[in-house]
């Protein structure tokens, strides 16, 4: 074998390996006796676009006056970059109790004038942003810091920032979206209209797959590092249940039947799926499938689940009514995700190291067709509006668009990263895309194929779900 051939095979293996879901790696301790605070800097007003300043320190002020420093995500604030853009500013693990606000120390500041950049004098003492808030054990508290641009400069030489602080407010439940962040042990709650974080939910270790029961306003989260499925009330963000799986299951993905009664947990660590009664929160059956299962796709009837097995090049078929394993379908490459077409009579399966999309006929349980899409596919969604199929790539910053009626690639969408996970909001006909390496979720208009907005997320974002998907 020639050196060039060996090199090519080596590169393909690297690409394929990078696409497989990785078992949970420890990043952050789960909250036990303490709570967590996340501070978001709210979008700056247009008047602040000429100002730049650096935050030297930010601290939470306890009700006894003690200041506890927080960790800054960034310190240099360029006003023109943050007009209309929210960003995560600081986080910290704090002892539970009452707090009276934040203390913000600025290190330097400047303003753009007709003559160029002019340095400003900064306050010698920290500025206080008062607001009573409570830190609770094993919970995350979200704070929103705003800068009032009016009077930010006095006597033309002094920088006099005026900060205000707010806690999480109410948002209409049908406008919310949810992002799991496996390295941060957090679910970010965002407003899908404004694309701003509105709350944060602390979870167990390593949250990955998330699915929303929109009728019952609850979310199910696969907590990979603790072999559990956690259940949350979406109205108040509190945990209302916990389904314990087997040791070493490492659940990676979840799927919910259309009636919201049956939940399927895909257990990457044990090559199994768990069939769960979602209402009683009881595991009904545990079924062995192929090697390293990554996702479950439930047919429109809610009677069968199709499990992609990334290391055995197969799709396992599970009968949910009988709770039995019924068939194995062999596909190309390393299958990672599937999606049914608009009619529900074809299942599209994307494989990370195959250039072809496998088209499965559920009635005959065989591959009926293949559609060329190029290598690197890791995520897939089908529009219920027009049947177009969107395939996210693990490299190249591209989402391929397919017309299944012609079995052809017809267009693409350029994005700022790699589309690890996607979901479609049918209410707005928009696509939400998780870009983990950029720490972003992007919102794309599916009519214009343009990026509408993006939101900053925490470390190792895994999945996104929205009300209306």
Residue 156 pLDDT: 67
Q: What CA–CA distance (Å, rounded) separates 350 from 380? A: 7
pLDDT exceeds 70 at position 12: no
439-444 mean pLDDT: 95
pTM of the model: 0.89
141 contacts 131 by C-beta, under 8 angstroms: no
Q: Which residue has the tokens 């990979």?
A: 224
Task: List pLDDT tens digits, range 54-110.
Answer: 999 999 999 999 999 999 999 998 888 888 899 999 999 999 999 999 999 999 988
110 contacts 118 by C-beta, under 8 angstroms: yes
Task: List pLDDT tens digits, range 185-216.
Answer: 999 999 999 999 999 999 999 999 999 999 99
Q: Which residue has the tokens 């055995």?
A: 312
- In order of their start, the domains of the chain are 35-167 (2.60.40), 203-330 (2.130.10.10)
319 contacts 312 by C-beta, under 8 angstroms: no
Helix/strand/coil percent split, the chain, to 5: 5, 55, 35
303-315 mean pLDDT: 97
Residue 407 pLDDT: 77
241-252 mean pLDDT: 97
Residue 117 pLDDT: 82
Q: Is the alpha carbon torsion for 192, 195, 201, 207 positive or negative?
A: positive
């Amino acid at each position: 074998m020639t050196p060039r051939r060996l090199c090519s095979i080596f590169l393909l293996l690297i690409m394929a390996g990078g696409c497989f879901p990785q078992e949970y790696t420890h990043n952050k301790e789960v909250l036990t006796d303490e709570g967590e605070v996340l501070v978001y800097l709210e979008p700056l007003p247009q008047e602040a676009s000429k100002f730049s300043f650096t935050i030297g320190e930010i601290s939470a002020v306890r009700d006894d006056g003690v200041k506890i420093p927080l960790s800054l995500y960034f310190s240099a604030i360029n006003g023109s970059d943050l007009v209309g853009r929210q960003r995560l500013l600081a986080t910290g693990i704090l002892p539970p109790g009452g707090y009276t606000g934040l203390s913000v120390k600025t290190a330097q500041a400047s303003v753009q004038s007709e003559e160029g950049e002019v340095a400003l004098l900064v306050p010698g003492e920290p500025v206080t942003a008062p607001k009573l808030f409570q830190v609770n054990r094993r919970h995350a508290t979200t704070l929103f810091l705003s800068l009032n641009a009016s009077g930010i400069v006095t006597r033309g030489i002094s920088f006099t920032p005026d900060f205000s602080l707010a806690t999480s407010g109410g948002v209409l439940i049908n406008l919310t979206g949810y992002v799991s962040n496996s390295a941060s042990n957090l679910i970010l709650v965002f407003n899908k209209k404004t694309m701003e974080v509105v709350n944060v939910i602390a979870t167990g270790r390593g949250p990955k797959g998330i699915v929303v029961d929109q009728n019952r306003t609850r979310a199910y989260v696969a907590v990979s590092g603790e072999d559990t499925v956690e259940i949350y009330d979406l109205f108040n963000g509190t945990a209302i249940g916990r389904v314990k799986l087997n040791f070493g299951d490492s659940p990676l993905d979840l799927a919910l039947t259309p009636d919201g009664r049956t939940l399927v947990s895909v257990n990457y660590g044990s090559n199994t799926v768990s069939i769960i009664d979602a209402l009683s929160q009881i595991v009904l059956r545990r079924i062995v499938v192929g090697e390293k299962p990554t996702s479950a796709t439930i047919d429109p009837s809610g009677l069968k689940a199709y499990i992609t097995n990334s290391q055995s090049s197969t799709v396992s078929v599970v009968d949910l009514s009988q709770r039995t394993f019924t068939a194995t379908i062999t596909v190309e490459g390393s299958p990672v995700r599937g999606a049914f077409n608009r009619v529900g009579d074809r299942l599209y399966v994307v494989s990370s190291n195959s250039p072809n999309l496998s088209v499965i006929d559920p009635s005959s349980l065989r591959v009926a067709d293949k559609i060329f899409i190029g290598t690197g596919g890791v995520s897939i969604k089908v529009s219920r509006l027009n049947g177009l199929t969107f395939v996210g790539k693990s490299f190249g910053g591209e989402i391929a668009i397919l017309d299944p009626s012609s079995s052809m690639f017809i267009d693409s969408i350029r994005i700022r990263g790699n589309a690890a996970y996607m979901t479609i909001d049918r209410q707005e006909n928009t696509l939400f895309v998780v870009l983990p390496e950029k720490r972003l979720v992007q919102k794309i208009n599916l009519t214009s194929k343009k990026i509408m907005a993006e939101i900053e997320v925490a470390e190792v974002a895994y999945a996104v779900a929205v009300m209306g998907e």
